[in-house]
Each structure stands twice: as C-alpha cells, then as structure tokens.
Amino acid sequence: MSNKICLIGLGYVGLPLAVAFAEKFKVIGFDINQSRISELENGHDRNLEVGDDLLNSINNDITYTADIQDAKDCNIYIVTVPTPIDKTNQPDLTFLIDSSKTVGSVLNKSDIVIYESTVYPGVTEDICVPELEKSSNMKFNKDFFCGYSPERINPGDKEHTVTKILKVTSGSTPEIAKKVDDLYKEVIIAGTYMASSIKVAEASKVIENTQRDVNIALINELALIFDRMGIDTNEVIEAAATKWNFIKLTPGLVGGHCIGIDPYYLSFKAEEVGYKPDLILTARQINNGMSKYIADKTIKEMTKSGKIIKGSKILILGVTFKEDCPDMRNTKVIDIIEELKCNGANVDVYDPWIGYGKEPIWYKHGFIDNPLESDKQYDAIVVTVGHKQFKEYNRNDYEKLSNGKSIIMDIKGIVENPAWRL
C-alpha cells in the first residue's frame, strides 16, 4: 500500500516536513488553527521557514485542513506539536496528549503514528500510546504502531534545512523501525540513523539541547567573571579558540523553544527516577539570569553617565530569540524590557523581523516602526539581537538615535566601541 501522510501541527517543524514529503507522497496538513490553514492555502508562511514561491509550487500536493476527518484515509501520522513547560518549569504535555486523542479518533488497523516533538524518555510509549489506544479502541503493536524521530529544525537557518539534517529514527518493533527509517530516507538527503529503541531516540534529542545549554551557561558564567575583572570576554574566547579542541561559543541570551526548555524535560525525568541533575539545573539558573544582569548593567552604565533612570528613554534593538528570523518563542529579551520598565524607564522596541499589528502584546512591550525614520532620540540603546539589519548600523545611525550622548549596550558583539559589551 502506498503511503499517505498526515502532518499534525503546521508550525516551524510540521510545515517544512510536509513540504518535503509532498514531493514524494500524498500529504494532508492538519492544524487546529483555522487562520493558519487559510494562510497556507493562500501560499504564505508567517514563520518564513518556507518561501512563498516554494509553498505555492507545492500547494497542489498538500491538502490543508482543520478537520481531522479529512485525514482518516492516511496510514502515516506524524505529530509535530509543541512541548512547552508550565510556570513551574514542569513539562506541559497538553498539546501532545490532545494530538494523540485526535489521531486516535481516525486511526485504522496497521497505521503508524510517528512523534517528532521533543520529550523525555518514555513519553511516547507511556503517555501517548495509552491515549491512542483509548481513542482508537485498538491495541498498540498489534493493531497500530508507533515511531519516534526527533525534529532538528533550526529556525531561520536556510542552509541546514529539514532535508539536509541527518535524521534519527526509531520504531516500536524492529519491523516498524525499518519502515520508519525507510520513510524518512525518501526525503532526508543527509541520511538517517536508526536508534535501537524509541526511548533511545527520545533521550538523544533531549540531550542535544541540554548539552548546548550547559556549554552556553559556562561561557555566560565566564562572562560574568571577566566583566568584574574588566576583561573583554570575546577577546578571551578568541585567544582560547586558537587551541584546536576549544569549543568556541559566545555569551548571550538563551531563548527559543528548544535550548531553554528541553533541559527541564530531562531534569523532570531524572528527578522522577531519584536523581537530582545539579549541573543541568544550575546551567538553567545561570542562563535565565542573564536578562536581569544585562538590564542591571544598562542601568549602572546610565547612572555612571549621570542619566536619571526614571522617565528615561531606552531603545531595544531586536526581540526575537535569535537573529534573522521572526521566532519570538521564549525570547529572553522580554525579560530585559520588563526589568527596565520596572525601574521606571520608557522602553521602545524595534525588530524588523516582526510584522506586528494592533494586538495588546505589541502595545504592552512598546513596539515601534523603524526608529531611524523618526526624530526620536534615546538615553540608552541596547542591541539584543544580531539581525543583519542591525549589523549594517554605523556610527552615524547611533548618533541619530542618541544625539551622540546615548549609552550603547552591545549584547551581540556587533557595535564598534559600545559603552559595554557582554
């Protein structure tokens, strides 16, 4: 039987994958957000992961829907929904559970459900499978099967796209593992790696970002130490990087849907089995504290220059969690904004990658149009994201924004002679 694939969730992960599979298979793209469905039917991806030209060229091969009944004749279901954390940093599996119930309602005998969402080891078989069984009234590994193939999407990266990143695969039986692996091999140019079990594949994903989080936390802690010593951290890194085995990272904010969240999934499971992951949790604490440190340094530099914080005007350049993409998920720039506002500053925020409208969030955080096209001037400018547009700013641009008297704080190492650089 030929495969007909349904992608559950059409966000940063699901849409690029749907487009890739549509070149070889019949594809249904399902999302509960009807406005997202309409947008994709009209050939536009607000996340900018898939260009309009490609989306329009492939649209005849993908059927978009918010009605799961339209996907009832599919035999492969790939779940790519978010797995966030709650206010207490505990895993929130609501989207995953709801998606499993939805898929279960249309599951047929011998169908395969593949999960791509980042989870701690055991979630697929211990949490998702029971929901599938309950909704479908069928038995796991007898009537239907599961796979796990963790997503490795890097938002905004046009070089390492979904088909060019090696894919880890797994299945609930050896036969299904082979089928899942063969399925991804059809579209993943970079190749696949078949893990020995679903749990191994789940664990491999959650440690990818945990490792990166810990490494960045080390660099951030070093930056805090060197700042107190009056040493430029970036110069230290450049010198240390002359050794062949030094891992070259730079200090900064850790946001996004992966690096700042996945470690909590692993630490949750670790504590559940009786182990407290001190290193992982300390790394999270260090990285989460960087926003306040940056805000405090901004206030300190302004005070040293004789500026009064209350009523001052501060410009934030960049609010997305990383450069050159519109992704605001878990951005730590918001924490800088709130900290400055709590100290009485008036904060404007400009980000050329955000198409904002009249929703309350934009007014709450003070979003503005291009400040270079206005006459407004600021007491301090904080460069928080290294967008390519900001890399083109020169000394004249900063003088226009500040009348030459602004305190410039450079978080991304792209400003010449700032007042302070992380």
pLDDT in tens, 147-161: 999 998 877 777 888
pLDDT score recorded for residue 155 = 76
Mean of pLDDT values over 179-183: 97
CB of 408 within 8 A of CB of 418? yes
Average pLDDT, the chain: 93
Is residue 258 part of the annotated active site? The answer reads: yes
The CATH 3.40.50.720 portion of the chain extends over: 4-196, 291-421
Name the catalytic one among 6, 128, 146, 258: 258
| Phi–psi pair at 67, nearest 5 degrees | -115, 110
Amino acid occupying residue 46: R
Q: What is the CATH number of domain 291-421?
A: 3.40.50.720
> Is 238 buried (19+), middle (13-18) or exposed (0-12) by CB count in 10 A?
exposed
Q: CA 262, CA 267: separation in Å to the nearest integer?
A: 9
> To which H or E segment does residue 43 belong?
none
**CATH 3.40.190.10 matches 4-196:** no
Mean pLDDT of 162-173: 95
Fold of 206-287: N-(1-d-carboxylethyl)-l-norvaline Dehydrogenase; domain 2 (1.10.1040)
pTM of the predicted protein model? 0.91
Task: Take residue 389 and report the two structure tokens written for it.
Answer: 């547009």
Task: Provide mean pLDDT across the span 271-291.
Answer: 96
Burial tier of 75 (Cβ tally within 10 Å: 0-12, 13-18, 19+): middle
What integer pLDDT is reported at residue 60 of this predicted model?
Answer: 79
Q: What is the mean pLDDT of residues 278-285?
A: 97
Q: DSSP string covering 101-115, please?
A: HHHHTT--TT-EEEE
pLDDT given at position 154: 79
- Average pLDDT of span 50-62: 86
